[in-house]
């Protein structure tokens, strides 16, 4: 596996590790961010692990303070470091790696917030256009069930790796890096599988029901 598996949420909460006992020698100072940056730029997985241990907790706290949701903050922290690993070969062109990591985290927070705003705006617009919308009739409920059955069939017809990634994401709510660990691939490859799977499903849905707009 090219990419190291990122630690789970317990690692984010205790990134500094346990304190040594009094009988043990005092631990050496952690490697410098600058030194880790150079090693990481050459694909050093150990350097990535050290960097994750030094920065994941402060990044998590930063994100959590912005979104006020620990589960979401954990996912965005993992996404940030997964992205950092995927662009490791470009890190020699970056000035302050610490600042860059926090900038990446900030961008992810704002992207998530924009997506949430769009979702809320769409819901508000639907309520405005259909203020007196009644509960779905039995016929509409049956139609939705039939459509779900079709969707299940289309998912089953996806290429194996796309289907596996989609099921892990949609049914089990695994993050990209968790799926990468399960499938032994990089988070970037996970994203590629998910994007291609959703394109196939949207195309099938459009062919079946052109009147429906898939998101």
Both tokens assigned to 32: 């410098």
Q: Give the domain 1-16+30-132 fold.
A: Rna Polymerase Sigma Factor; Chain: A (1.10.1740)
Q: Which of 171, 131, 136 is nearest to 151 (CA)?
A: 171
CA angle 66-3-112, nearest 5°?
25
Taking 50 as the pLDDT cut, the residues of the chain under it are 1-2, 4-5, 7-20, 22-23, 137, 141-142, 214-215
| Long-range CB contacts for residues 106-115, cutoff 8 Å, separation at least 24 | 106/62, 106/66, 108/63, 108/76, 108/79, 108/80, 109/63, 109/66, 109/67, 109/76, 112/67, 112/72, 112/76, 113/67
Domain spans in the chain, listed from the N-terminal domain onward: 1-16+30-132, 134-210
pLDDT digits (tens, 9 = 90+) for 62-92: 988 888 889 999 999 999 999 999 999 999 8
Dihedral of the alpha carbons of 203, 209, 211, 215, in degrees to the nearest 10: -40
Q: What class, spelled out in words, does domain 134-210 have in CATH?
A: mainly alpha
For residue 135, the model assigns a pLDDT of: 53
Q: Which of 51, 140, 41, 26 is nearest to 94 (CA)?
A: 41
For residue 51, the model assigns a pLDDT of: 94
């Amino acid at each position: 596996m090219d990419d190291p598996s990122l630690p789970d949420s317990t690692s984010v909460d205790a990134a500094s590790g346990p304190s040594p006992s009094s009988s043990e020698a005092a631990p050496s100072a952690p490697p410098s961010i600058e030194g880790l940056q150079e090693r990481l730029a050459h694909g050093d997985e150990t350097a990535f692990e050290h960097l994750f241990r030094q920065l994941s907790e402060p990044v998590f706290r930063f994100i959590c303070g912005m979104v006020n949701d620990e589960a979401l903050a954990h996912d965005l922290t993992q996404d940030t470091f997964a992205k950092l690993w995927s662009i490791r070969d470009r890190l020699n062109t970056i000035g302050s790696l610490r600042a860059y990591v926090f900038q990446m985290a900030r961008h992810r927070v704002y992207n998530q917030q924009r997506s949430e705003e769009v979702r809320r705006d769409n819901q508000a617009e639907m309520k405005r256009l259909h203020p007196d919308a009644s509960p779905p009739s039995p016929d509409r409920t049956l139609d939705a069930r039939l459509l779900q059955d079709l969707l299940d069939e289309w998912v089953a017809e996806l290429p194996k790796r796309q289907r596996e990634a989609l099921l892990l994401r949609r049914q089990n709510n695994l993050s990209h890096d968790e799926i990468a660990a399960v499938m032994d691939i990089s988070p970037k490859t996970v994203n590629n599988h998910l994007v291609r799977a959703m394109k196939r499903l949207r195309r099938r849905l459009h062919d079946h029901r052109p009147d429906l707009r898939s998101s």
